Amino acid sequence: MLAGAFLVKRRRANSAGEKQRLLRRELPIQLKGTNGAKGMRKVRLDVPGSFTEFGLRAAALAAFFSLFCALSLVAQETGPMAPAAPRGGVTAAPPAQAPPPAKPSAPKPEPAISKDPPSIPVDQIIQQFAQREAEFREERENFTYVQDFVVQTIDSGGRPDGEYRMTSDIVFTPAGKRYENVTYAPPPTLERITLSQQDFDDLRNVQPFVLTTSELPKYDVKYVGRQQVDEISAYVFDVGPKKIEKNQRYFQGRIWVDDMDFEIVKTDGKAVPDIRKGDNENVFPRFETYRENIEGHYWFPTYTHADEVLHFKTSNVHLRMTVHYSDYKRFRVTMRLVPTPQTQPVKP
């Protein structure tokens, strides 16, 4: 857009002897660059006085076009410009960038195991927690709960490529008989492994491992020391079967026993034995089971997890297993008869 008035000045001709009159005209022009910036520039035109008004205007327009092109080239050389602010004076926020992936935190080191001897004999500790475990097994039979069982095979990229999933309610009939009611079991997609009857037996009996007085003679129990498990001070024992009987399943690994309630609060091990007969291989993962204090001094299993590569003759399979036990509710009460001392009648 052109703005302002012409300013006329006289000067002498540059050529010697030339007397032709020249007109100097300066045009104040408002310019707008490609980046939106505005400014005033003066354009000087030296034209012969004999130019018509039309010719003068054409020359002015030609000079303006030349200056506009020069400003455009300068703007391009300075690189890309920031986008203009939207109307209303609010600056547009830059597009949000995804935060960098968080680095996995290093696992907290476990507290060291103290090798100091316990204040009471080890055999007494074993007998006490086996007796308490027997009471717990009896009490657990009085509770309903929900069990979520998931087994996945994991590919080389760390993604599941097959899954078995089952959700069950452990409930009672009106007559008081306990049973398992499967509430959710989509079609399995496992292709590289199959689940055997031993896997389901271990789910019920080995992964929520209970070491009672009746089971104690089957196991070697070795005292390891004491260790802190979260806020619990626990005795640590290594446990393994003395002898493996045919068609029997056992636990082999380590247990942590609360030093106040004398109950198992954590297990870390596997179901044994692995079964290998010719081309038939039945291999079982190492797992961890944690318990929580649900009622009184009884600690109930609430979480089991396994993440291990199983080694077969023909291939290795990365397996991940999770079991959640939840929504424990008491269905009935165990009644125990406790003998009371008899008092002799007082003779007159």
Q: What is the chain's pLDDT, residue by residue, as a tens digit (348 residues)?
A: 323 333 333 333 344 444 344 444 444 445 444 444 445 444 444 444 444 444 545 455 555 555 444 444 444 444 344 334 444 433 344 444 445 544 545 567 889 999 999 999 999 999 999 999 999 999 999 999 999 999 999 999 999 999 999 999 999 999 999 999 999 999 999 999 999 999 999 999 999 999 999 999 999 999 999 999 999 999 999 999 999 999 999 999 999 999 999 999 999 999 999 999 988 999 999 999 999 999 988 999 999 999 999 999 999 999 999 999 999 999 976 544 445 555 555 555
Handedness of CA 228, 232, 236, 242 (dihedral sign): negative
Q: Is residue 94 part of a domain?
A: no
Residue ending a domain, among 55, 77, 99, is 77
* Per-residue pLDDT reduced to its tens digit, 209-258: 999 999 999 999 999 999 999 999 999 999 999 999 999 999 999 999 99
Asked whether residue 200 is assigned to any structural domain, the reply reads: yes
Please indicate, yes or no, if residue 343 is contained in any of the structural domains. Answer: no
In the chain, the number of structural domains is 2
Q: Is residue 253 part of a domain?
A: yes
Instruction: Indicate whether 44 and 133 sit together in one domain.
Output: no
Assess if residue 224 is contained within a domain: yes
Q: Is residue 175 domain-shared with residue 44, that is, in the same domain?
A: no
Residue 55 lies in domain: 7-77
At which of 61, 77, 93 does a domain end? 77
Question: Does one domain contain both 159 and 39?
Answer: no
Single-letter amino acid, residue 343: T
Q: What are phi and psi of 69, to 5 degrees?
A: -65, -40
222 and 288 inside one domain: yes
Cβ neighbors of 105 (< 8 A, separation 6 or more) are none
> Which structure tokens are listed for 301?
């299993």
Q: Are residues 14 and 157 in the same domain?
A: no
Indicate whether 21 belongs to any domain. Answer: yes
Domain-ending residue, one of 47, 77, 107: 77
Q: Do the domain assignments include residue 344?
A: no
Do both 145 and 65 map to the same domain? no
Please indicate, yes or no, whether residues 223 and 322 belong to a single structural domain of this protein. yes
**27 belongs to a structural domain:** yes
Q: Do residues 258 and 181 share a domain? A: yes
229-249 burial by CB neighbour count: b if 16+ within 10 A, else e?
A: beebebbbbebbbeeeeeeeb
Q: Are residues 163 and 37 in the same domain?
A: no
Shared-domain flag, residues 165 and 244: yes
